[in-house]
Structure 1
Amino acid sequence: MQEIPLHLDFIALLTLLGLFLGFFASYFLIKKSWKSNLPNLFMGLFILCISLTMLEGWLDYTGYIFKVLWLSNFSEPINFLIGGLLYLFIDTQIEPEIKKKYWLHFIPSIVWLGICMFYFLQPDVVKYNDTIEVMQLNIPRANETPPFSDNPFRIRKHTSLLIGIYFTFYILIIGRKILLKANSIGESIFTTTNKTLKIVRNISYHVSVIIIIFILVKIFFKNDVGDYFIHLYASFLIFITAMNIMNQSNYYNEVSTFLELPSLKYKKSSLDELEKKSIHEKIISLMENEKYFLSSTVSLSGLSKEIKESSHHVSQVINEKLNQSFFEMLASYRIEEAKTILKTDLGKKLTIEDVAERVGYNSKSAFNTAFKKITSQTPSAFRDS
């Protein structure tokens, strides 16, 4: 097999940056949302799948794929998972209740993985020849006969067409779900003021653009030669998503040591497990029995004084026992109280600003942001439902 020169340029470097941001963002979205926030979990998985397909595209574009031929076409089955994850993200945004048929959307990817196994099990020389053909390289092929057919069902030659049909199907059912939601609240998706609808509508716009780019690339470029156009646009979307995650982070609401490593934060703590348990019980008692969180002037130092413990130890116990920051814990109690109020007859008569004030928020926007983050609904939508 001939040595293939590497191809590194501005497009390759930009895509590589998008890859790093994609893996970084997906890791934290999945880690922070596991079993607690389905929309963010599906979005994290969606970004991870996008990043993996971009990785294969980057390997092909730069020529590095010839150094790791065992990875050739590894993202093919993942392509048949992206649409389903996008639908699940939008579905759980619009209708947060848990459903039991989410697994159905993973079937196309699993089926395609089975089809691709005949190719994945081929020796590297077969993948070498295939990559040369796909990338339209003017290089002699290696003389090698496959030990068995890499496409016994004769279906993989229609991969691009099937991916196009797959994404079109999901765009249609996503569009239908958005329209039904808009009609149910009497708004137009183009002029809606509903935050959830605006989010899913804008995401659908971007995915539609990707599908259009995909179609144009397949029309004007043979095989996978022009896929870098798709990866560049996907990199742009990942940059925007990463910026939104950083802008909405609780990091800015807390005093943190510069470059402090989370794993070393409490390494030198003098607290033992019995002391942690005691502090934990004091915090829970103050929050649940005295509803300390209802005050708009609540602070970590104030809470620490109330239970006669140091702020550092209280913060440590909240982080380790509740797996939350102080502000996340505070928001969770306040939003639960708000949900209780909104379900009552009085709550139906109060304005959202009044409810926000009753649970300790000084502004409606901060209350709406916290409520939507925890429940995936606005307070008004929760009350109406």
Structure 2
Amino acid sequence: MLLVFPVFNIYGSSLLLLSIQGLIFSFLLLKRYHKQRNASDLLLGLILLITCYHQTTYTIGFMEWYDTYRTTKVNYYLIDFSLALAPLLFFYIKSTIKPDFRLSEIRLWHFIPAIIYFLIKVFILISDLQSTGFNEVQNGPMVINFEWKYVNPFLFLFRTIQMLLYLAFSFQIFFDFREKIKHYFANTYKLELNWLQNFLAAYSFLYLFYSIQTVVNELIVDLSWIQEWLFYLSSGIAIIYVGIKGYFTKVTELSSIDFASFAVPANKEHTLIKRISEDKLSARQADISSYFAEHKPFLDPELTLISLSEKLDMSREELSDVINQGFESRFNDFINSYRIQETKRLIAEGKHKNLSLLGLAFEAGFNSKATFNRAFKKSENQSPSEYLNQLSK
């Protein structure tokens, strides 16, 4: 049977379509970077581009490239860029949460392994080009006796450790940033933070999937191309998710947060070490409770520690200490507790008959459904809808 490239089937066509969509979003991100110069757009565009590029071997394989062109040399030019992907993931997260992040902060040493691997691939190509009978085979002696035997096993081991470390660093700076927000802001930027968490989860899943698949293939049983296709299908689906969410989620909101304005001046640092006296603590608690009862500052969805301290004519350090020590709460949880009580008050007044639960949440100062549901369940041990159903019984 004469094979002709391209052959369209469910395996190759699905990978091709997913990769094309990913390339479109990569182009859109790079185009937006050219106009707006947001480093996060450039980094995410490159991440998508590399992920799509890594689909090439299996995409053209299922489309019968290797059977049609038996002596093809295409694999010499399909270089694994995953050694560059790991640091790019880390710098993307950093670019979204660090104010005034600049591309100049990206250090070349993070990409030295990728550069060394690229040079090795060039060396293998040049060596095999000079070998006898190279035009009659698909893979030359350097690929078979050097790359497959020594380079690839070392590459897998190094890449696995590298990706694990960079993902760990990425999760660490992400969780630290998320915790900071909860201490200073009532608005927890749920949409943006959920995107970053899901982005890291998607690439963690692909990393784990690929690692397990490789170990099984090398040590337990040889997997067929169709069995390995599941990983590349998962990668393609991840490409679409990352492309769509990454393009439409405005992460510049996060990178504009300047925590330096919350920093404690050096000459006041000692006040944070020493706890507020019990008498002063009680007095400040009473002042805050009175102010909240009268002015309801929690109704402002953009309320921050700084803006509240200005309203109370209190230093932000002292306000933070009173909330943490006196009310035994973080700023975000403290404000949301008032918003939940306000929501319950509105329900008690029958406002739920004219407004949805989400409408009541917005009236009470919440700015997202997810934050409202999470805070309500944490406080009341039941969802808002369960609370409402219980009242109607």
The TM-score by the shorter chain falls in which range? 0.5 to 0.7
Structure number with the bigger relative contact order (C-alpha 8 A, sep ≥ 6) is 2
- From 184, 194, 197, the equivalent of 1:198 is 194
Note the C-alpha offset of 1:169. Answer: 1.6
Q: 1:217 aligns with which of 213, 219, 224?
A: 213
User: Is residue 62 from structure 1 mapped to residue 63 from structure 2 by the alignment?
Assistant: yes
**What residue is the counterpart of 2:230 in the other structure?**
229
User: Which deviates the most, 39-48 or 49-58?
Assistant: 49-58
On the 8 A contact 1:38/1:92 being kept in 2, the answer is: yes
Mapping of 1:1-385 within 5 angstroms?
A: 8-34=8-34, 36-65=37-66, 67=69, 69-99=72-102, 100-121=105-126, 122-123=128-129, 151=147, 154-186=150-182, 194-221=190-217, 222=222, 225=225, 226-244=227-245
Question: Following TM superposition, by how much is the alpha carbon of 1:103 offset from its aligned partner in structure 2, in angstroms?
Answer: 3.1
2:78 and 2:26 map into 1 onto residues whose CA distance is 17
Moved more, 154-163 or 50-59: 154-163
Larger CA Rg, structure 1 vs 2 = 2
Secondary structure in 2 aligned to 1:155? helix
For structure 2, the 5+ residue unaligned runs are 251-303, 312-361, 368-393
Over 3 Å counting, the alpha-carbon distance change for 1:152 and 1:199 in structure 2 is closer
1:168 & 1:245 partners in 2: Cα distance? 22
Deviations 1:159-203 (A, max 9, x none): 22222222112111111112222332347xxxx654433221111
Judge conservation of contact 2:195–2:249 (CA < 8 Å) in 1: no
Higher helix proportion: 2
Structure 1 residues 47, 224: closer, same or farther in 2, change over 3 A? farther
> Normalising by structure 2, what TM-score?
0.51
Identical-residue share of aligned pairs (%)? 15
Supply the AA of the counterpart residue of 1:198.
Answer: N
Is the contact between residue 33 and residue 41 of structure 1 (CA under 8 Å) also seen in structure 2?
yes
TM-score (structure 1 length as normaliser): 0.52
Q: 1:211-266, CA deviations, whole angstroms, 9 ceiling, x for partnerless residues?
A: 121022113334894542222112112223444478679xxxxxxxxxxxxxxxxx
Stretches of structure 1 lacking an aligned partner (at least 5 in a row): 132-143, 250-341, 350-362, 369-385
Return the offset for 1:146: 5.7
**Which string of whole-angstrom CA distances, capped at 9 and with x for unpartnered residues, describes residues 256-292 of structure 1?**
xxxxxxxxxxxxxxxxxxxxxxxxxxxxxxxxxxxxx
- Does the aligned pair in 1 maintain the 2:86–2:166 contact within 8 Å? yes
Residues 25-83 of structure 1, C-alpha deviation per residue, up to 9 Å, x if partnerless?
Answer: 11121121136111111000100001111112312343314648333053434121111
State the one-letter code of the partner of 1:95: K
Count of equivalent residues:
244
1:150: Cα distance to partner? 5.1
Could you say if the C-alpha distance between residues 236 and 345 of structure 1 is closer, same or farther in structure 2, counting changes exceeding 3 Å?
closer
